[in-house]
Structure 1
Amino acid sequence: MDTPVTIPPLSRREFLKKTSAAVAGSMAAAGCAGHTPAITPAHPGEPTPHRTLFTNGQLLSLPQGRITPGWSLLVEAGHIAWAGPGTPFSGLEARHIDLKGAYLLPGLMDAHCHMTLPSAASFSPLLGLATWRQLRKNFENQLASGVTRVRDMGAMPPVLGTLVRQVEKGQLAGPDVITCNAIFNVDGGHPDISPSDVSWVAAFGSLFTGAPTVSFKEGELASAFGANCRNADFVKITLDNTSLIAGKPFINRYSDPELATIFRLARDAGKPVAGHAMSRYGVSRALAHPIHSLEHTVSDGPLDEATLKAMADNKVSVVPTTILANLYTLLDLAEPLPKGLLSRRALLEAPIREAYLAAVTEDDVEPAIHENNLAMLEAMQKHPFSELYTRGDYTFNPHLFFPILTHGQKNLMRMKEAGIRIGCGTDAGVPLNYHGAIVRELQCMARLGFTNTEALTCATVNNAHILGVENEAGTLTPGKRADFITMAENPLQDLAALNDLTLIVKNGTVYEKT
């Protein structure tokens, strides 16, 4: 049931003006100084004990939604050696941590994000230092939100590799990363812009940082695939035929033979394929091949029963990233919304988004980047969509996101009812979408019709299967990695309980927020 909400009295223009002023003040105060880490090991500089006994927790079993009090976990060398009620290890030589009745969940997973994207609407040389700080903050904020693993859906591979190595060496607190390297796409395809489109500085910089998209040209498919697939865990492609960029008339897409070749190469390399598909066109193309997962919410119309059955029969998973409907369904742009797009759900999402944006601090995002995003929203209000692309303002088209709250919501619930595995991902890294937003995504899913138990199952048990780590993550059973979180309140009753974590454990190391 929708909860009644009140629209804030500020107009967007007033909101932008007030927020921009606050951002400018925080930028002046922060300067180029380093930031305070969002999360650090509880005992920095000390080695993690070989054996730790966690006692007196309340285990939340998923997908059952069952609570078992008095639960203990014995962790040895980063893995769960024993799990059960009570404390049967009297006199055991180990570090003891009393959970004091806190609720106990497996570490959450973000199955769709971009760890080396700074969530900025555009790039300029003035954002260089802020961008590097933000990329480190991406890792910290993900772990601080209880996310112990992520699936990166398109990165600047050299930069991602540097940050992942820092995490492995204990120089940076962050989740483990499963990666596709860069998005593999035909030249001129999604995500619709290249570094050279942004600026010559971005194009020059990409020679050293890499780009989040590898675009192949005619005759280059196999060699480009091999280079990008090397050391990747999976392959990411895009399947839609419409641009997400406001005012861009078209995008290129794979030919049928090229798409068949991509899936053949992926099969030969033993790599699953994930496909961006917000449209029925994209889903139809994907289902002609052994697609592993479909990304985003299909929202351009109702899915038919044959498509749902094919998805279920082929064991295709879906990561809906419903948070995009909250962030991008802007109600007050210069151009009128197409007839039929505005829904009651969109009106209810608006104040939730505005309250979030008003509450953003430099703990969430570098102030210069937030100011950059607010300027994007201002430009979107000033100019017609048809002019934005030609002006060089590469912004999203909100008209493509409104249907997530109508057709998309209905499609998603029908997928769930059909037994299709649904995961949980934030798409963090794209403009306005700051890392550490897993709770907001879970809450969005709940507002679209998932129970809290179902949403949490998507972020744990289901995501473990989608990421291919079900043998070592997703549940707190012996033999799996010691990745878990605790909280004082019950998230089955209120997902906001996840905003106040009392303990974050990754690979047996205990972290605390700073």
Structure 2
Amino acid sequence: MTKAIPQSSLSRRDFLKHSSAAALAGTAVATGCSGRAPVVTPVITEASQQPPLLLYTNAQHVNPEKGTVTPGWTLLVAGGRIIYSGPDKPFPDIQAQRIDLNGHYILPGLMDAHCHMTLPSASSFSTGITLATWRQLRKNFENQLASGVTHVRDMGAMAPLLHTLMGEVKKGELAGPDVIFCNAIFNVDGGHPELSPSDISWIAGLGSLFTGAPTVAFEKGDLASAFKANCQGTHFVKITMDDTSLIAGKPSINRYSDEQMATIFRLAEASGQPVAAHAMRRFGVKRALEYPVHSLEHTVSDGPLDEAILRKMADKRVSVVPTTIFGNLYTFTDHADPTPEHLVSEAALSEAPIREAYLASISEEDVEPAIHQNNLAMLEKMRRYTSAELYKRGDYTFNPHQYFPILTHGRANLMRMKDAGVRIGCGTDAGVPLNYHGTLVREMQCMTRLGFTNAEVLTCATLNNAHIMGIEDDAGTLDEGKRADFITMVDNPLENLDALNHLSLIVKNGQGYKKT
């Protein structure tokens, strides 16, 4: 039986001051973590290895884009690829391992288009959670795959550590999704998330030789050289556009100059790399649209978008990954700062019991207990101290007031963007405080509460995300020639997204897995 974590600061800055030291310690004890029970395990075939051909029969094919279910579906898989996808066929003349899916529903593998695989979701760091931090980074990968996610887009990582873990996944030493990555966020010094090398202690600096840091805080010098050092060989470039801090007690942040922005986009275009931009506010959206931006992240919650902006987004084929889950996770009213009345909407009040039920259900399977207790301690601090007091104390937590509008302006803007033909993706921002990996279904459910249908959010999490990640030729549908990435479940997710919480099989690149 899963053991629940007893219910008892965001200090991303504090975490980064010490996380490199934690990773140093974690690297030394990595082999000692191998005794932890895995979250997801490979399905062992009769021959103890994958046979040349796998024939999956008797499935009900869910097509999210059409909103349809087709019974009697077969997939024939060879070398990790789908070579037949269609009505059931006996294929009498082939030698294949045959798997009867017993009428279960089958979907393409899900994708998390915005997360941070090398962040442990903790609010602060202490030496007491060093080993828990290391274990959690590995569990991040396992939890994503266990939730049916076969691809993630990492939006800012401690690059050397990320590549180490990706290497373990590739070698089969760690069960997890494949990663589309940008290395660190390529950021101006003092820009979101307001971290720079000067914030990191000497011991963190030593540790960063092994782990790296999730942001490159460019301050001065040769921008092209800094870009090359961080972004060469990555799938995309991540920058930030907003001018307002998300940290409680800090009103503004630095941002790139127009000249620097032009240089970044020129360099990205020359290297064929799309640019993703953090743009939670209208300021960031408008600025990003002055350039050939590929995707906007967290958009947009501080006011209505006008028709000209919507047309520009659609005309430029800019995609949006809204991370609406923050309208649930971070909209606390029981904190020391009074919440302005205009922010407390009916939607915000309706999210509160959903959030509290979720927090009460967190178990050791979801997150390391020490990390969850760390987050609960941060929430208690927010009840005791105002934002100004927290900032003065060095407790750099999130500002809830920045997230309430997701449920008002953000909802209206998101539906208008969808209606305008803007491609909408699906991502969690997992890795930041209180936001645990493996929770894509919660993001999808948040999106339905904002107005999306189940079919639409399933499309966002599969085909739309594949386009945003640039892997639409390989993933996103169960078409012939694509990778064998799919999930099965007993119930119909078009009727109830909770079906995705009860997966019967997860297949990534032809390899089957089951949740333990």
**Scaled by the length of structure 2, what TM-score is found?**
0.92
Instruction: Choose the corresponding residue for 2:343, options 341, 365, 376.
Output: 341
CA displacement, residues 373-399 of structure 1 (integer Å, 9 cap, x when unaligned)? 111101111101112112110100000
Question: What's the CA shift for 1:18?
Answer: 5.7
- Where does structure 2 lack aligned partners over 5 or more consecutive residues? 9-31
**Residue number in structure 1 paired with 2:479:** 477
- Secondary structure of the 2:7 match is helix
Q: Which amino acid aligns with 1:294?
A: L
Q: Which amino acid aligns with 1:450?
A: F
Q: After the TM superposition, which residues 143-162 of structure 1 pair with which residues of structure 2 at under 5 Å, given as runs?
A: 143-162=145-164
| 2-structure distance, mates of 1:358, 1:194 | 35
Q: Which amino acid aligns with 1:451?
A: T
**Residue number in structure 2 paired with 1:89:** 91
**Residue number in structure 1 paired with 2:408:** 406
Q: Could you tell me whether the CA contact under 8 Å between 1:122 and 1:198 is conserved in 2?
A: no
Instruction: Choose the corresponding residue for 1:51, options 50, 53, 57.
Output: 53
- Secondary structure of the 1:340 match is helix
| 2-structure distance, mates of 1:195, 1:134 | 24
Query: Quick check: 1:319 aligned with 2:321?
Result: yes
| 2-structure distance, mates of 1:451, 1:198 | 44
Q: After the TM superposition, which residues 58-69 of structure 1 pair with which residues of structure 2 at under 5 Å, given as runs?
A: 58-69=60-71
Q: Could you tell me whether the CA contact under 8 Å between 1:192 and 1:244 is conserved in 2?
A: no
Query: Quick check: 1:208 aligned with 2:210?
Result: yes
- Secondary structure of the 2:207 match is helix
Q: After the TM superposition, which residues 71-470 of structure 1 pair with which residues of structure 2 at under 5 Å, given as runs?
A: 71-194=73-196, 197=199, 201-470=203-472
| 2-structure distance, mates of 1:200, 1:405 | 41
| 2-structure distance, mates of 1:332, 1:484 | 41
| 2-structure distance, mates of 1:246, 1:331 | 14
CA displacement, residues 38-91 of structure 1 (integer Å, 9 cap, x when unaligned)? 101011893211210000000011210111000000000000001111224024
Q: Could you tell me whether the CA contact under 8 Å between 2:285 and 2:299 is conserved in 1?
A: no
Question: What's the CA shift for 1:198?
Answer: 6.5
RMSD: 1.5
Q: Could you tell me whether the CA contact under 8 Å between 2:249 and 2:387 is conserved in 1?
A: yes
Percent of residue pairs identical: 69
Q: Could you tell me whether the CA contact under 8 Å between 1:153 and 1:179 is conserved in 2?
A: yes
Higher mean C-alpha displacement, 82-91 vs 53-62: 82-91
Question: What's the CA shift for 1:496?
Answer: 0.2
Question: What's the CA shift for 1:168?
Answer: 0.3
| 2-structure distance, mates of 1:254, 1:34 | 46
Residues 203, 346 of structure 1: alpha-carbon distance in 2 compared, 3 angstrom cutoff: farther
Higher mean C-alpha displacement, 118-127 vs 134-143: 118-127
| 1-structure distance, mates of 2:356, 2:431 | 19
- Secondary structure of the 1:59 match is strand
| 1-structure distance, mates of 2:206, 2:401 | 33
Question: What's the CA shift for 1:221?
Answer: 1.4
| 2-structure distance, mates of 1:83, 1:160 | 34
Higher mean C-alpha displacement, 87-96 vs 435-444: 87-96
- Secondary structure of the 1:19 match is coil
Q: Could you tell me whether the CA contact under 8 Å between 1:34 and 1:133 is conserved in 2?
A: no
| 1-structure distance, mates of 2:34, 2:463 | 40
**Residue number in structure 2 paired with 1:25:** none
Question: What's the CA shift for 1:199?
Answer: 5.3
Question: What's the CA shift for 1:32?
Answer: 7.9
Q: Which amino acid aligns with 2:64?
A: L
- Secondary structure of the 1:261 match is helix
Q: Which amino acid aligns with 1:19?
A: Q
Q: Could you tell me whether the CA contact under 8 Å between 2:56 and 2:101 is conserved in 1?
A: yes
Q: Could you tell me whether the CA contact under 8 Å between 1:116 and 1:156 is conserved in 2?
A: yes
**Residue number in structure 1 paired with 2:15:** none
Question: What's the CA shift for 1:230?
Answer: 1.7
Q: Could you tell me whether the CA contact under 8 Å between 1:196 and 1:203 is conserved in 2?
A: no
| 1-structure distance, mates of 2:232, 2:391 | 34
**Residue number in structure 2 paired with 1:24:** none
CA displacement, residues 239-280 of structure 1 (integer Å, 9 cap, x when unaligned)? 000011001132110001000110000001110000000010
Q: Could you tell me whether the CA contact under 8 Å between 1:297 and 1:408 is conserved in 2?
A: yes
Q: Could you tell me whether the CA contact under 8 Å between 1:62 and 1:457 is conserved in 2?
A: yes
Question: What's the CA shift for 1:130?
Answer: 0.8
Question: What's the CA shift for 1:215?
Answer: 1.0
Q: Could you tell me whether the CA contact under 8 Å between 1:464 and 1:473 is conserved in 2?
A: yes
Question: What's the CA shift for 1:125?
Answer: 2.3
Question: What's the CA shift for 1:489?
Answer: 0.2
Query: Quick check: 1:508 aligned with 2:499?
Result: no
CA displacement, residues 207-247 of structure 1 (integer Å, 9 cap, x when unaligned)? 32100000111223111101011221100000000011001
Q: Which amino acid aligns with 1:303?
A: L
Q: List 4+ stretches of structure 1 deviating above 2 A.
A: 31-35, 44-47, 193-208
| 1-structure distance, mates of 2:231, 2:217 | 13
**Residue number in structure 2 paired with 1:4:** none
| 2-structure distance, mates of 1:118, 1:188 | 22
Q: Which amino acid aligns with 1:349?
A: E
- Secondary structure of the 1:52 match is strand
**Residue number in structure 2 paired with 1:7:** none
Question: What's the CA shift for 1:201?
Answer: 4.2
| 1-structure distance, mates of 2:340, 2:290 | 32
Query: Quick check: 1:19 aligned with 2:7?
Result: yes
Query: Quick check: 1:38 aligned with 2:26?
Result: no
Q: Could you tell me whether the CA contact under 8 Å between 2:196 and 2:217 is conserved in 1?
A: no
- Where does structure 1 lack aligned partners over 5 or more consecutive residues? 1-16, 21-30
Q: Could you tell me whether the CA contact under 8 Å between 1:119 and 1:433 is conserved in 2?
A: yes
Q: Could you tell me whether the CA contact under 8 Å between 2:84 and 2:480 is conserved in 1?
A: yes
- Secondary structure of the 2:59 match is strand
Q: Which amino acid aligns with 1:440?
A: R
Residues 506, 309 of structure 1: alpha-carbon distance in 2 compared, 3 angstrom cutoff: same
How many correspondences in the alignment?
488
| 2-structure distance, mates of 1:196, 1:131 | 23
**Scaled by the length of structure 1, what TM-score is found?**
0.93
Q: Could you tell me whether the CA contact under 8 Å between 2:189 and 2:196 is conserved in 1?
A: no
Residues 198, 325 of structure 1: alpha-carbon distance in 2 compared, 3 angstrom cutoff: farther
| 1-structure distance, mates of 2:431, 2:203 | 20
**Residue number in structure 2 paired with 1:488:** 490
| 2-structure distance, mates of 1:281, 1:386 | 24
Question: What's the CA shift for 1:308?
Answer: 0.1
- Secondary structure of the 2:433 match is coil
